[in-house]
Homo-oligomer: A and B are copies of this chain.
Amino acid sequence: MDDLAATNGTSATNGADDTNGGTGAGSPAEARGSRAQPKTDKSEQTRALILETAMRLFQERGYEKTTMRAIATEAGVSVGNAYYYFSAKEFLIQGFYDRMTYDHAADARRRMAHTRDFSERLEIALVSWLDTAAPYHEFAAQFFRTAADPNSSLSPFSNESHPARATAVELFREVLQGSELAPKLDAELVELLPDVLWLHLMVVVLYWVFDRTEDTERTREFVRRSTPMAARVINLSRYRVFRPIVRDAKGLIQDFILPTIGKTAVK
């Protein structure tokens, strides 16, 4: 946990969506999470220091109980300075979220390398998320509340940019592509599935957030049970009987789900 946000950085974070893109017709002069580009090393260090301190305090006391004043004091800066780097408290979560997504993807890749069984790979990917997120379960609830705000840039859906989602979807593409199932499916479905599997993860996350059992054992059981079923449904989709219903489902996903999470429908 100490290494969280240790590599401060722009990693794969923001590109150049400031100059054009979504900002045009949106709400006027909406403040972004932080400054566009750091000018100095020192700046970058301060930013990292604040983020690190915040993460530590969040874990120690929870999100709501950690005050901006406490973060600033503990980091040895002023409140105003913290706001210079993170334009609101919730943007501190953004850094945390990006980092965790990255860690999860790395861990899942490592763990599922040994098998080509789709169901197993999917389960590994999901369980890996639960393990990665475990230390933060306590304050995840409070942070989830923020993420559920459609106006917040923290929402897992929409709000252009947010490369964390792309990272996660990419992981699920690999879950599928690395399995023996992928070659058996038609190309269009292979194209669609990663996003659907990511949605599966979102459902698991939702379940996890509300899970009050020891070590979130209930969610883990849920994953163990739901994963083979998902695999079975996908597998069955190859058969003729299911053709029409699969077609409908694909249409629904293409027209209504993907656009919502910021993809243009496959033409």
- Residues of chain A touching chain B, judged by Cβ–Cβ distance below 8 Å, are 141-142, 144-152, 155, 157-158, 207, 209-210, 218, 221-222, 225-226, 229, 232-233, 236, 241, 245, 248-249, 251-252, 255-256, 260
Contact = CB atoms under 8 A, between A and B. Distances in A.
B232 A248 contact: yes
A151 B141 CA distance: 7
Interface centre among A141, A150, A151, A232 (most CB of B within 10 A): A150
B226 A245 contact: no
Dominant SS at the A interface?
A: helix
B150 A148 contact: no
Contacts of A157: 210
Nearest to A159: B210
Contacts of A142: 149, 151
Nearest to A145: B149
Contacts of A145: 145-146, 148-149, 152
A209 B150 contact: yes
A78 to B, nearest CB: 26
A112 B87 CA distance: 49
The 3 lowest CB-CB distance pairs between A and B, nearest first, are A148-B148, A145-B149, A141-B150
A241 to B, nearest CB: 6
9 contacts: A141-B150, A141-B151, A142-B149, A145-B146, A150-B209, A158-B210, A210-B260, A221-B256, A233-B245
Contacts of A152: 145
A252 B225 contact: yes
A209 B151 CA distance: 10
A236 B242 CA distance: 10
Nearest to A239: B241
Nearest to A261: B210
Contacts of A260: 207, 210
Given A142-B151, A144-B148, A232-B248, 18 more contacts: A141-B149, A141-B150, A144-B150, A145-B145, A145-B146, A145-B148, A148-B148, A158-B210, A218-B256, A225-B251, A225-B256, A226-B252, A229-B245, A229-B248, A229-B249, A229-B252, A233-B245, A241-B241
A210 B256 CA distance: 12
A148 B150 CA distance: 11
B245 A236 contact: yes
